[in-house]
Structure formats: C-alpha cells, structure tokens
Amino acid sequence: MRIVPYAAVLIVSTSLAFAQQPAHGPAAGSTEVANASTEQRVQDLLSKMTLEEKATMLSGSSWMDSAPISRLGIPAIRMADGPMGIRNWTGPSAVTNAEGTRTTINSTAFPAGIAIAASWDPELAREEGKALGAEVAAIGRDMILGPTVNIQRAPLWGRNFEGFGEDPYLTGRLGVSYIEGVQSQGVIATVKHFVANNEEFERHRIDVAVDDRALHEIYYPAFKAAIQEANVWSVMSAYNKVNGVYCAENPLLKSTLEKAWNFQGFIVSDWGSTYSTAATVNAGMSIEMPGGPPMQTWLLRPETKKSGNDGGYLTPEKVLPLVKSGAIPEANLDDNVRRILRILVESGLIDHPHTRTGSIDTPAQRAVARKGAEEGLILLKNSGNLLPLQAGSLHTIAVIGPNAAVDRSGGGGSSLVHSSLLVAPLDAIKEHAGSIDVRYALGVAMPGEDPTQDTPEARKTLRDAAVAAAKSSDVALVFVGYSSKFETEGKDRETMDLPDGQDELIQAVAAANSKTIVVFNAGDPVTLTRWIDQVPAVVDAFYGGEEAGHAIASALFGDINPSGKLPFTFIKALKDSPSYGNYPGENLHVNYAEGIYVGYRYFDKHVTVAPLYPFGYGLSYTSFEYSGLKLPKTYNGHNPLEASVTVRNSGSRQGAEIVQLYIADPHASVDRPVKELKGFRRVVLAPGESKTVTFALDSQALSFYSTAQKQWIAEPGRFDVLIGASSRDIRQKASFELTK
C-alpha cells in the first residue's frame, strides 16, 4: 500500500487578516511573520534597546508582572490567574489589580475547565473566554494564565478539574474557542502547561518519558491548535522534565513550538520552574516568573527548594555576562525579547495599556457562568425517570450532605476563585421549592472542615439526623464529592474513593428512601460502585462555578434538560486506568508506557476492562434518533469530505444532543486506536424536531503520526465513520475509500 505523506494532500489555506480581532498569525510552515507593520515597530523598538534593557525583560518584576522599559514606553505585562476566573484569594500570586498589589475583588467564578469540557460546546468556551477577558481588562490587567489543556492521563491528578478531559481533539476545540474569546478582548491568553504536566506528584522534579507518537497524537494537539488556529499569544512551560530535560529549557520549545508550529508569541515559565541561565535563554524562554524580590520568597516553598531551584536565573546580573561571553548568542536574546514586543504591539497593549475600563461580576458575566454550569453537568443515571422532580407532587425534600449547603465552585490552587455570589444547591433548591418543605441535614462533614463533627459520636448524630430526614421525605437528595482542599493543584488525590464517611452516608440514606438522588462534585472518576445499584439517579456536577447551585436545582426540577457528556472515561476502579502501574512513577521517573492508548483509546483495545460509563456518555430527559448518515464512497484527500447525519428528538421535551463523529482506520500499517474522535456538534432540538448535522473531514482527521517518517500520514484505503451518542453508543456507520 502506498503511503501518502499527509503534507502532500493538505490544502494549505493561509489567512493573513489582521484587525482588532485576534490577528491570525501566519499559516503553519509559512515564513511570513505576523503583521508587517508590527514587525517594523518591533524591530524599531528592539534596535533602540540597550543590552541591559533587553536582558531586563527576561525576568519578571514581581509576582505577576513582567519588566517594563519605561524609557521606551514598553509597559509591564500585568498577569493574573487563572483559567476559570480572576484569582482573588490568599496566596502571593493572587494579584488582582493594576497596581500589582492584592485587593479583594469579587470576580466571577466561572465553571471549571472539566465542566466546560462536559458541555462539548466550543461557543460556550468562547463566551467564557470573552467574559473572563473583559474582567481582566476591567481590573487593569493584561494577561490571564489559562486555559489549562493538559490531558487527563491519570485519574488522580489534582488538576484534572482544570483541564478539558482525556481526548486531544475535544481539548483542542475548546481551547481554541476559549483563547479566541479571551484575546478578542485584547487580553493575552496563556495556553498551559507545555508539556506532559499530568500529575502533581513531585511536579518540580519528575521526568516524564513519553514517546514521539504519544506526544504528537495526545499531548501536543491542543497546544498546536492554540498556536496555529487561535494564534495564542503566550505559552507557559511546565514544571516537569520531558525525556530528561526540564520543560523551561527543553529543545522542544524551539523545535516544536517555534519552528514546526511557527509560534509567534512568547514563552513564559511556570512559577519557579527555571533551572539554568544560558540553556533556558537559548531554548527560547522569554519571561521567567515570578521575578524581582518576590522570587526569593517563592523559592522558600518546600517543593521549590527540594527541586534545587534557587531561582532568578534570567536576571540581568546572570544573563549579561553570558551574552558577553557568547554562551548566549545575542540573536537568541533578541528573539526572546522580540516575541514579547510583538505581542505587546499585536495585542494593542503598547498603545492602549489596560485601565479600569469595564466592570466585573456583571449580570452578563454571571449569566455566562450559569450557562456553563447548566451545560456542564451530566445525568449519569436516572432509573424509572425519577428525575426531573415533579414539584407539584412533592411535599417534602431531604437535602443532605457536605456539598449541599456549600457551593463547591472550583478545585484548589491557582485556578480557584472566591466570588461573593456563590449559590449553594440547598439555597437554590429552597428558592425553587416554593411550598415544598425542604429538610436539610449535613449527614457528614467534609473531613477537616469542622473537626467538632469528626468524632464518632458527632458522626453518628449527623448520620442519624440525615436518615431521619430521608425517611420522612418524598425524595432524598445527597450532595457529596470533594472540596478545593481535596482536589487541588499541588497534590494528587490519594484514592478514587469519596472523602471519608460519604459512601456510608449514601448507603444509609438510600436504605431509608428508595427515591435517593446523588449529586457529586469531582473533576474526574470517583468510586461509585459501592452504592450505584442502590441509587436510582446520579448527577455529576463537576465544579460549576458561582452559579452551580442554580444549575443543579434547574436540572433536578427540569427547568433545564441535562445535556453534558463525559469528557473522560468513568472507570470503576483505579486499577482499570491505562496509567495504572505507571503513575506516579518510580524514583521520579514516570513512564507513559501506554503511549497513545489514553482513555477510551485504551478501553476499546482492552475490552475485558469495562468502564462504568464510557467517554462521551450522558443521559437526557428526552431521547434522540439518528438516521441517514451520508458520505461519499471515495475521497481523494482534497477539499473536505462531507458527512451528514440527521438527528431527531423523539421524546416529549426540548433537549440538546452532542453528536459525536469517530474515525476508524481498520487497515492501517501501524497499530491505531479502534476509533478516534474527529468531530462533534451540540444540537438543540424541540420535541419531534429533526436537524441534519454536517461534518467536514480533511486528511489530517484521517492521519496518524508516523515516528518513522516524522510526519502525519493518511494511508489510502478504507476508513469507517462512526456517529455516536457516546463512544460506545454508535448509532450510524459508513465507510469510504481514501484513494490517495
């Protein structure tokens, strides 16, 4: 079989439109740089800079600011965490105002990345990015440290809630839209953390061994799409090593980001993740963070110290002697500085530094948070159609659990946002319940949140009260899961199990009331198997931001119809995970031995290991029928191949279905996954309504990465197109022949 190099069949479309919208950088592989006038301005500024000024720009001036060169009107870039809202709580990095100091602001707490992923709605991601970008500009800052696009490889990774799940295509689509939303506001988005940052365990010291094909097919795509499609203005390098070299000084920065993908923006380090001067500058690092006096405080952190990082590697004191000695060619210094200047010009920041222009936490931004929370929750189980609750026929509702009276808006660490407007499920249910009697019982405290409740006696009292409430109510709602202390940056979960005491609470309540509904907060799989058969209805609410309570109540009472689908495989037990045995690694070495077989790619090959719920799965209060898949019999690799399918709402109420398109290449010359997600569309349908959904496929969608030929290859021969309501609920299938 002839192998056709993918590049030979790709239609290269270059878009050189530059306007207020994010300037779409030059197409991949083209040599033009961004907007010509930008380059002239950049070159003009660079030529005026002294060597000292250029060196000054390579290291931050504070926790969250780059270094300004006032003499030339070059402003500091004022950064802020995090991916789902402006960080406004304790922690030195929680800088939230133009003056660079920390003042408490009530920024909008948007849903976590995993909830946006569960929505499978790129337009929602764009809206969130836009709303967040507007808030950053409104407080006079210039750059948001998000999105997080690291793949959910390990079920216990503390930051799974921040990312968009296990699939590179889904992650890429959402990342691109989010970045375009942020940058449409003239705010710099920072796609992070490049690359293979998939566990918190010893993140400053671990060395990830990952093969080239897994990098290209699993861990790179979202970064590549961010650069080549969204024209992302900055990339953050990760803490860990990849194949023996720290990310902050890894040759991948130049070889992959800058040369292969033609990245025009600048690279910023993760905080306290640089370990050398010449190697780091020569690798392409533009801004080491944090900088200035705070760097020293930062370095006192235990995990930073343990890694031997004594910080401040890119300060002028260290850089200048190495430029003079030639260890750092001045051309490298110039290129790193040029990239910062280019984005300052292209983003408009050099002409219009942000002032407190807009406003934050507006009803409009709050509405975006609510839409995200509503679209980002998943109905996992609904036996006997217990849900939606029929308010008219209910007299008493028991609302139980440690996550009932608290809005678990997000996971912990740099992405956490404390809004003053958090809505807990209990409050929203009370608002909704009208004359229904709502009986609240804590049931069990979140471990560590209330030590007085952690004694055996207190726990018995709490549980007895919860059982009594359940016994005397028409239905029992149990709200469990984690808090931002249990699922957080800086540490991984120790187990898939729910926090101590929650399984027993659920079992006791389910024994007391056959109409028990469990709603849980987590960013990844949790152990459900101990009680899933005793509980008729289960909702995965992830971390829904400040409006989570309203979204959950609306879904339970049927004001909205849940439409979320799993962005990761929901496994039964940790030992089923593809990374099991290769997580968290041995002696600080983590071997990604599963290669490309992450998530559903693995389970489709190892059919004896059945997940509890498959990737792409989620229920609805209505039902959908698929018909009429149409696509040409042959495809010559030119012009997109169009596949269309009709979806009908065969139920009695409006709903949104996420139609998924998978590709199979059964005759590939290399081992390939049984199927790979290459298209999806969220379609809203009234009862009885039909819509035809069209997908456009190109050769890239059919390709695998050949490590032998170091390029993407689409091999001629038969391909299958699978249309599914989940990765394991394939409703339509058709084949075509790729002729060349």
Give the residue numbers marked as catalytic.
270
**Does residue 271 bind ligand GLC (CB under 6 A)?**
yes
Nearest distance from C-beta of residue 281 to ligand GLC, angstroms: 21
CA 317 to mean position of chain CA atoms: 37
For 40, 65, 289, 312, the CA distances from 293, given in Å and listed in that order, are 34, 12, 11, 9
Q: Which of residues 76-95 bind ligand GLC (CB under 6 A)?
A: 81-82, 93
Beta carbons within 10 angstroms of residue 68's beta carbon: 17
Of the two residues 158 and 679, which places its CB atom closer to ligand GLC in the complex? 158
- In the shown chain, the binding pattern of residues 145 to 174 toward ligand GLC, with x for contact by CB under 6 A and - for none, equals x-----------------------------
Q: Which residues, other chains included, contact 531 with Cβ-Cβ below 8 Å and sequence gap of 6+?
A: 503, 506, 507, 510, 518
- What 3-state class would DSSP assign to 729? strand
Of the two residues 488 and 516, which places its CB atom closer to ligand GLC in the complex? 488
d(CA 145, CA 91): 15
Nearest distance from C-beta of residue 92 to ligand GLC, angstroms: 9
Is-contact 713 706, C-beta < 8 A? yes
Nearest distance from C-beta of residue 579 to ligand GLC, angstroms: 20
Q: What are phi and psi of 299, to 5 degrees?
A: -75, -10
Nearest distance from C-beta of residue 273 to ligand GLC, angstroms: 8
Please, what sign has the CA dihedral across residues 337, 340, 345, 350?
Answer: negative
Nearest distance from C-beta of residue 305 to ligand GLC, angstroms: 15
Q: What are phi and psi of 737, to 5 degrees?
A: -105, 120
- What 3-state class would DSSP assign to 719? strand
Burial class (CB in 10 A: 0-12, 13-18, 19+), 311: buried
Of the two residues 190 and 262, which places its CB atom closer to ligand GLC in the complex? 190
d(CA 473, CA 467): 10
Sheet holding 266-269, edge to edge: 79-80, 143-144, 188-194, 234-237, 266-269
Nearest distance from C-beta of residue 353 to ligand GLC, angstroms: 22
- In the shown chain, the binding pattern of residues 130 to 149 toward ligand GLC, with x for contact by CB under 6 A and - for none, equals ---------------x----
Of the two residues 188 and 566, which places its CB atom closer to ligand GLC in the complex? 188
DSSP 445: P
d(CA 205, CA 587): 10
Question: In the structure encoding, which two tokens stand for residue 527, read together?
Answer: 């152990």
Phi-psi region of 231 (alpha: psi -120 to 50; beta: other; left: phi over 0): left
What DSSP letter does each residue of 189-245 carry, written as one string? EEEEEETT----TTTTT-EEE--HHHIIIIISHHHHHHHHTS--SEEEEPSSEETTE
Is-contact 71 350, C-beta < 8 A? no
Burial class (CB in 10 A: 0-12, 13-18, 19+), 11: exposed
Nearest of 184, 159, 163 to residue 175 by alpha carbon: 163
d(CA 736, CA 715): 13
**Does residue 624 bind ligand GLC (CB under 6 A)?**
no
Nearest distance from C-beta of residue 80 to ligand GLC, angstroms: 9
Nearest distance from C-beta of residue 91 to ligand GLC, angstroms: 8
Nearest distance from C-beta of residue 564 to ligand GLC, angstroms: 25
Nearest of 117, 620, 617 to residue 372 by alpha carbon: 117
Give the residue, chosen from 61, 88, 107, 414, that forms a contact with ligand GLC under the rule CB under 6 A. Answer: 414
Question: In the structure encoding, which two tokens stand for residue 362, read together?
Answer: 């507006």
Of the two residues 79 and 441, which places its CB atom closer to ligand GLC in the complex? 79
Of the two residues 241 and 678, which places its CB atom closer to ligand GLC in the complex? 241
Sort strands 676-685 and 641-649 into parallel, antiparallel or unpaired: unpaired
Q: Which of residues 93-132 bind ligand GLC (CB under 6 A)?
A: 93
- In the shown chain, the binding pattern of residues 179 to 208 toward ligand GLC, with x for contact by CB under 6 A and - for none, equals -------------x----------------
Nearest distance from C-beta of residue 628 to ligand GLC, angstroms: 45
- In the shown chain, the binding pattern of residues 23 to 62 toward ligand GLC, with x for contact by CB under 6 A and - for none, equals ----------------------------------------
d(CA 612, CA 380): 10
Question: In the structure encoding, which two tokens stand for residue 8, read together?
Answer: 């030979």
Of the two residues 271 and 621, which places its CB atom closer to ligand GLC in the complex? 271
Give the residue, chosen from 200, 202, 249, 270, that forms a contact with ligand GLC under the rule CB under 6 A. Answer: 270
Of the two residues 79 and 438, which places its CB atom closer to ligand GLC in the complex? 79
Of the two residues 204 and 515, which places its CB atom closer to ligand GLC in the complex? 204
- In the shown chain, the binding pattern of residues 327 to 356 toward ligand GLC, with x for contact by CB under 6 A and - for none, equals ------------------------------
Of the two residues 145 and 218, which places its CB atom closer to ligand GLC in the complex? 145
Is-contact 75 68, C-beta < 8 A? yes
Nearest distance from C-beta of residue 265 to ligand GLC, angstroms: 16
For 115, 164, 567, 605, the CA distances from 572, given in Å and listed in that order, are 21, 20, 16, 17
Of the two residues 238 and 528, which places its CB atom closer to ligand GLC in the complex? 238
Residues touching ligand GLC: how many (CB under 6 A)? Answer: 8
**By the criterion CB under 6 A, which residues form the site for ligand GLC?**
81-82, 93, 145, 192, 270-271, 414
